[in-house]
Amino acid sequence: MAHAYPGRFSGRHPGWPAQLGPLRVPAGVVALRPVRLRDASAWSEIRIRDEDHLAPWEPTLPGGWAQRHAAAEWPGRWLQLRSAARRGVALPFAVTLDGRFVGHVMIGNVVREPLLSAYVGYWVDSTVTGGGVITAAVALVVDHCFSRVGLHRMEATVRPENGPSLRVLEKLGFREEGLFRRYLDVNGAWRDHFCYALTTEEVRPSGLAGRLVAAGLAERV
Ligand SMILES: CC(C)(COP(=O)(O)OP(=O)(O)OC[C@H]1O[C@@H](n2cnc3c(N)ncnc32)[C@H](O)[C@@H]1OP(=O)(O)O)[C@@H](O)C(=O)NCCC(=O)NCCS
């Protein structure tokens, strides 16, 4: 078998929409589901409160932070994400902790044959960091991308200053592939980013979630 993709791309995602998990980690029970229109108030409350936690790592965009993250902005973003998911170029997941919305794991730039590749991005509410939430969430999403979605390579780009994000990728076994100079305009300037990647051969046979469970870092519930 050359790769896990079950057939030529038909215009719809294999593996979307999907519910992933749950996995229990020290912070609580982590699961993923598609983003929803009714995430607006939780999304806005966290994003506005957490500007200092999030802005240093996110692309520079026009408009003020509070204005861009007002609840009224979410329906437009949600429609764009839903459309991208329907076109097969993204998998926009909401992360829940004990059933409560706490962040996103976004799969974007899905490129089908011959690359079968995508990038992963993520953020979480600052009040729940350090409890294994995003490590578990990314593990579940990458396993899903390498199985039902049929991708072969997942990539993540991270600023060298972003210790917690580098640690997440290290815990999951992502490989450092190099440094992209002035790669992305983040927080007002062109910033270097490390490129990390994983291919499906590297996570067999147990998958990333299976590895976390075997290492005692997560538990299936
Ligand atoms: C990066 C982020 C998503 C991690 O989420 P999380 O749920 O806290 O992640 P986890 O708890 O699974 O793992 C975080 C790890 O970083 C470690 N860590 C925390 N601060 C750290 C620091 N300054 N330097 C190095 N490691 C650090 C934690 O101890 C933990 O590792 P451990 O399990 O070995 O103790 C979260 O910090 C966040 O939302 N940051 C802002 C947005 C962002 O950076 N997104 C990614 C852009 S590439």
Q: What is the pLDDT of residue 11?
A: 52
134 touches ligand 1 (CB under 6 Å):
yes
Please give the distance, rounded to the nearest whole angstrom, from the Cα atom of residue 7 to the centre of ligand 1: 37
pLDDT computed for residue 86 by the predictor: 94
Pocket of ligand 1 contains residue 172 by CB under 6 Å:
no
Atom in ligand 1 nearest the alpha carbon of residue 168:
13
Q: Which of 66, 21, 34 is nearest to 48 (CA)?
A: 66
Global pTM reads: 0.95
Q: How far is the CA of 14 from the centre of ligand 1 (A)?
A: 30
Ligand 1 center from residue 163 Cα (angstroms): 7
Contact between 65 and 48 under an 8 Å Cβ cutoff? The reply is yes
Q: Is 149 in the pocket of ligand 1 (CB under 6 A)?
A: no
- Report helix, strand or coil for 98: coil
The answer to whether residues 197 and 216 touch, using CB atoms and an 8 Å cutoff, is no
The tens-digit pLDDT sequence of the chain (221 residues) is 344 444 444 456 789 999 999 999 999 999 999 999 999 999 999 999 999 999 999 999 999 999 999 999 999 999 999 999 999 999 999 999 999 999 999 999 999 989 999 999 999 999 999 999 999 999 999 999 999 999 999 999 999 999 999 999 999 999 999 999 999 999 899 999 999 999 999 998 999 999 999 999 999 99
Token reading at 18: 């999907």
Ligand 1 atom 1 nearest Cα: 165
Kindly state the helix (H) or strand (E) to which residue 195 belongs, with its residue range: strand 189-199
- For ligand 1, atom 28, which residue shows the shortest CA distance? 130
Residue type, 110: V
**Cα torsion for 9, 12, 17, 23, to the nearest 10°?**
10
The C-alpha atoms of residue 39 and residue 50 are separated, in whole angstroms, by 16
User: What is the DSSP secondary structure assignment for residue 174, as one 8-state letter?
Assistant: P
Any atom of ligand 1 within 6 Å of the Cβ of 59? no
